[in-house]
Structure 1
Amino acid sequence: MKTFFKKNLLLRAAACGFVLTVLLSFTGFSAQCDALEKNVIRLHVLANSDSDADQAVKLKVRDAVLLEAGRWYGDADDFETALAAVCTHLESLEAAANAVLRAEGVPYSAQAEVCEMYFPTRTYDTGSLPAGKYRTLRVTLGAAEGKNWWCVVFPALCVPGASDAGDLPAGTEPIVTDAERFEVKFKAAEIFNSLLAFFDA
């Protein structure tokens, strides 16, 4: 009987140790994800509809907005400077989007805003970003009922040739550039943040 209780106690101690190790590991990972959320500006372009024409227009608007945004935050060395530049020049970003719509002859307009949005885990050509709430430059086109397009405005990870992970917050580079190693934690973070987003709604 004593042997049974001793084994049971050892198993419980081992289980507690394992859970504690996982929690400590996830706590560190969560802190890194939080650093990304507070230092990254996402871009969200929502098309008027899912028609081929509207989806093509969406991509042209994306290119115009990225180009215009780069004019204002291109020299920014930190998140706050980049965010201030985007907010200050929001009208010019919206104007760039509307210029594309006029050139394409579509009967709707664009609206640009800076807001906080929840994003699921997202993989780009340059790496992955974990789920979470990010400051976002959001551009809606017309009825905004079509498929959307996501990317990263700052650091400029969605601009070809501007994907240097050295621009990311210190200690977060492996999370973005080595996504496979963090796949399970990405999923855990996504589930956790989805629950937070649900209760915040």
Structure 2
Amino acid sequence: MKQRLHPIELTLMIVAALALTSGAVALHTQSQLAEKVVRLHVLANSDSEEDQALKLKVRDAVLEQATETLRGADSQAEASRRLTDILPELEETARAVITANGYDYGVRAELAETSFPTKEYDGFALPAGEYLALRVLIGEAAGQNWWCVVFPPLCTAAASDVPTVALDAGLTDQEVALITEADEGYILKFKSVELWQTLKAKLTK
């Protein structure tokens, strides 16, 4: 005789199925989102107070130059091309800040696919995953890092302007909703993305 599921067991199965379905949809949206943005990733030489303070000064200078360079860019491909063209200039900008503050650290600027955890910012958040990033590595690049989004220019946008800036850069309503819905559903979506990212990594090993 076939055993019937207890109502609680059935409820748990339904909830799990819905969570996995939501996660699959959110993961697909995250993948599409990753094809439209460029992160900014600045790595400090170390975790010393001085090196962390220097990191923020380098960040400010690089962010200002990158934001100006990307003004009017309408796609990730265009943003990537423009940033690639000025990587040497971005390195010089960072090096000038480092030298002006009395340090002789080397510095390297590059564009690279980079794995990021879920990160919340003022007015939006991005789910964990692989993203194209403008990386600025200071010295040993062994300290705590700083990251945001340089394209679209969400790093410099006011929280209330994030949806408009994102839509203007080509993100869809669904993608904007994924990164700006600050409620319980938003949290569950991000947890679902992280779960699917973990499962995908294990399956590809």
TM-score range, shorter chain: 0.7 to 0.9
**Which of 177, 180, 183 is the matching residue for 2:180?**
177
Number of aligned residue pairs: give it: 198
Give 1:112's aligned residue.
Answer: 109
Moved more, 179-188 or 66-75: 179-188
Q: Deviations over 1:42-79 (max 9, x none)?
A: 11111011111111110010011111101211111222
Superposed counterparts of 1:154-193, under 5 Å: 154-161=151-158, 163-166=161-164, 167-168=166-167, 169-170=171-172, 171-180=174-183, 181-193=185-197
Amino acid in the other structure paired with 1:58: K
Amino acid in the other structure paired with 1:176: I
What is the TM-score of this pair, normalised by structure 2? 0.84
- In structure 2, stretches of 5+ residues that fail to align are none
Q: Which runs of 4+ in 1 moved over 3 A?
A: 5-24, 160-163, 194-201
Given that 2:108 and 2:138 are in contact with CA atoms closer than 8 Å, whether structure 1 keeps it comes out as: yes
**Which of 67, 71, 80 is the matching residue for 1:74?**
71
Bigger Cα Rg: 1
1:122 deviation in Å?
Answer: 0.4
Give 1:129's aligned residue.
Answer: 126
Q: Could you say what secondary structure the match of 2:142 adopts?
A: coil
- In structure 1, stretches of 5+ residues that fail to align are none
**RMSD, matched Cα:** 2.7
Superposed counterparts of 1:1-201, under 5 Å: 5=2, 7-8=4-5, 20-161=17-158, 163-166=161-164, 167-168=166-167, 169-170=171-172, 171-180=174-183, 181-197=185-201
Q: Could you say what secondary structure the match of 1:69 adopts?
A: helix
